[in-house]
Amino acid sequence: MHITNASPFLKTSAKARHRRNLEVKNEVLTSNKKKMLIVATVAITLVLIAYLPYTYASISSTTASATQSSQTRTLRAKGIAVNQGAVTPAGFALSLQATQINATTIEFNVVSGTVDINGTQYTIAGGSGAVVREKHGFVLEAQGTSPDGQSVTLKLAGRYFWMWGRLYVARIAGSLQTGNAKIYLVLRAAIRV
């Protein structure tokens, strides 16, 4: 059998195709709108997360620097000491007080402290140091006395990391020099600011 007039079938199929194309187009547009909404929400969230520390820092900058410079903070560390090939436990507790704070550095004084190397306590009387904010690093040099009264020099350098809130941790390498002997130190430290 041969169909001579197929136009009713073509019109209905063309209408059906057109309707189906509109439905697909609406689904694609709705799906694209949802994707754009999700992308916009994520972008705004990332911008706010990146901007939040700057907002916090700008709000409390004057009071924070006044508070930080007037208070003493304690830097505590534990690790190892290497003296002529022998590895022994080591640690220290140093009281630090900020003297000058600006956008790139924090200068501080070592007020007091003790260094413990394998049970031997060295007393630290004073010193100074600086934190370089851009490099997340710090250096420190302090003087003190050994248990037998000899003068000692503690030299430390390290990199610090922000853990959360007011807690910072650091990896430190340094030395404690007594007369002609030099004891090398490798430590991990923590401080709350």
**Residue 82 CB neighbours (<10 A):** 15
Residue ranges of domains in the chain: 1-59, 67-192
What pLDDT does residue 57 have? 44
Could you list the beta-strand ranges (E) of the chain. 72-83, 86-101, 105-117, 120-132, 137-145, 151-164, 167-178, 181-192
What pLDDT does residue 23 have? 73
What pLDDT does residue 59 have? 42
Q: What is the pLDDT of residues 113-149, one digit of tens each?
A: 999 999 999 999 999 999 998 889 999 999 999 999 9
Picking from 121, 174, 72, the residue whose alpha carbon sits closest to that of residue 189 is: 174
pLDDT in tens for each of the 193 residues of the chain? 555 555 555 555 667 777 777 776 666 666 677 777 787 787 777 766 766 555 444 444 444 444 445 688 899 999 999 988 889 999 999 999 999 988 899 999 999 999 999 999 999 999 999 999 888 999 999 999 999 999 999 999 999 988 888 888 899 999 999 888 899 999 998 888 8
Supply the pTM of this predicted model: 0.63
Written as one letter, the residue type at 77 is: A
Give the span between the Cα atoms of 177 and 65, in whole angstroms: 33
Give the span between the Cα atoms of 89 and 84, in whole angstroms: 14
DSSP 149: S
Give the span between the Cα atoms of 140 and 157, in whole angstroms: 6
Written as one letter, the residue type at 172 is: I
In Å, how far are 79, 114, 129, 146 from 85, measured between CA atoms? 16, 23, 29, 21
Picking from 125, 137, 73, 60, the residue whose alpha carbon sits closest to that of residue 99 is: 73
DSSP 152: E
Helix 61-70, helix 7-59: angle, nearest 10: 40
CATH T-level fold of 67-192: Porin (2.40.160)
- Asked if residues 123 and 114 have their Cβ atoms less than 8 Å apart, the reply is yes
